[in-house]
């Protein structure tokens, strides 16, 4: 009888120990969220993840910059974390951003996009944040037929750099709301007029999404793995990078 009581007592103590360890494992994330929320009003914390190699926690927020904090949230580092490896310098933060970009963009339905797809097999997909009035965005659009020919689909996301309430922003709305958005996009990119049109549209939300994903200029070309190419590249150079040439 005594041995049985000792056995049950040991089991109960082990249960309390495991519960205590689990609670402690959750404490840093909770402490970080609480401290940041109290110190920086309006900051929306999207995720908190440990970076064991650095002894820090990565905090993703509604702000474009990544935060790194100590376990208690007392000390904060803002910016990209770099790792020195045998192969050179690796941007740990950008690698994380790429994964999140891919996850977010691949979840957006095509009904929310202006997409130029090849007639045959789609071999690769490019997600492009574009401004209709951007010179290099227009040059990229001139390359779309060649990209389609090579099996590349181009998904356009709205990023009129001048922001809401400007002619460029309104022009994108008119393109999206046109009876034939593909034709309207091509006309607008060529500098031709597009009839004013209004409807429920994703232009504002895509503009905000671009800022969240780190888009600062156009064109911003995002590959299927989430890697971002900042600026224009000719079609054949893009195709070589994608392994199509």
pTM: predicted TM-score of the whole model, two decimal places: 0.76
Q: Is the pLDDT of residue 146 over 60?
A: yes
Between 44 and 197, the more confident residue is: 197
- Predicted local distance difference test score (pLDDT) of residue 93: 87
Tokens 């888009």 -> residue? 215
Higher pLDDT, 21 or 225: 225
User: How far is Cα of residue 97 from the mean position of the Cα atoms in its chain?
Assistant: 6
What Å distances lie between residue 17 and 13, 14, 26, 88, 217, CA to CA? 6, 5, 14, 43, 52
Residue-level pLDDT at 132: 95
Q: Which residues are registered as beta bridge partners of 45?
A: 61
Under the banding of pLDDT at 50, 70 and 90, the label for residue 104 is: very high
140/47: higher pLDDT: 140
User: pLDDT by residue (tens digit) across 21-76?
Assistant: 443 444 788 888 888 888 888 888 888 988 888 899 999 887 777 899 999 888 99
Question: Rounded to whole angstroms, what are the CA distances from 123 to 37, 101, 229, 231, 244?
Answer: 44, 20, 19, 22, 8
Give me the pLDDT at residue 16, please. 38
Burial of 97 (0-12, 13-18, 19+ CB in 10 A): buried
Contacts of 105 (CB under 8 A, 6+ apart): 127, 155, 157, 213, 222, 226
Please say whether the structural domain 114-241 has been given the CATH code 3.40.30.10: yes
pLDDT at 98 over 70: yes
Which pLDDT score, from 0 to 100, does residue 9 have? 39
pLDDT tops 70 at residue 139: yes
Classify domain 22-103 by CATH number: 3.10.450.70
> Domain boundaries in the chain?
22-103, 114-241
Residues 6+ apart with CB under 8 A from 124: 151, 152, 153, 223, 224, 242, 244
Q: Show which residues are catalytic.
A: 131, 134, 137, 161
């Amino acid at each position: 009888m005594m041995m049985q009581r000792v056995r049950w007592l040991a089991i109960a103590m082990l249960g309390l120990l495991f519960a205590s360890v689990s609670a402690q494992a959750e404490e840093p994330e909770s402490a970080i969220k609480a401290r940041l929320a109290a110190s920086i009003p309006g900051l929306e914390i999207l995720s908190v993840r440990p970076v064991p190699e650095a002894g820090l926690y990565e905090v993703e927020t509604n702000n474009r910059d990544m935060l790194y904090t100590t376990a208690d949230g007392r000390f904060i580092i803002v910016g990209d974390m770099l790792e020195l490896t045998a192969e050179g310098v690796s941007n740990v933060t950008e690698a994380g951003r790429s994964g999140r970009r891919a996850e977010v963009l691949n979840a957006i339905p095509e009904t929310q996009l202006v997409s130029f797809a090849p007639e045959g097999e789609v071999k690769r997909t490019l997600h492009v944040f574009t401004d209709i009035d951007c010179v290099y965005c227009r040059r990229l659009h001139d390359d779309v037929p060649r990209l389609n020919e090579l099996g590349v689909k181009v998904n356009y996301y709205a990023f009129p750099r001048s922001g809401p309430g400007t002619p460029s922003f309104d022009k994108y709305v008119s393109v999206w709301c046109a009876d034939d958005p593909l034709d309207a996009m091509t006309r607008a990119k060529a500098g031709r007029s597009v009839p004013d049109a209004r409807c429920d549209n994703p232009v504002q939300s895509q503009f905000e999404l671009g800022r969240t994903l780190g888009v600062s200029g156009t064109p911003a070309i995002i590959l299927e793995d989430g890697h971002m190419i900042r600026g224009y590249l000719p079609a054949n150079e893009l195709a070589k990078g994608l392994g199509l040439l």
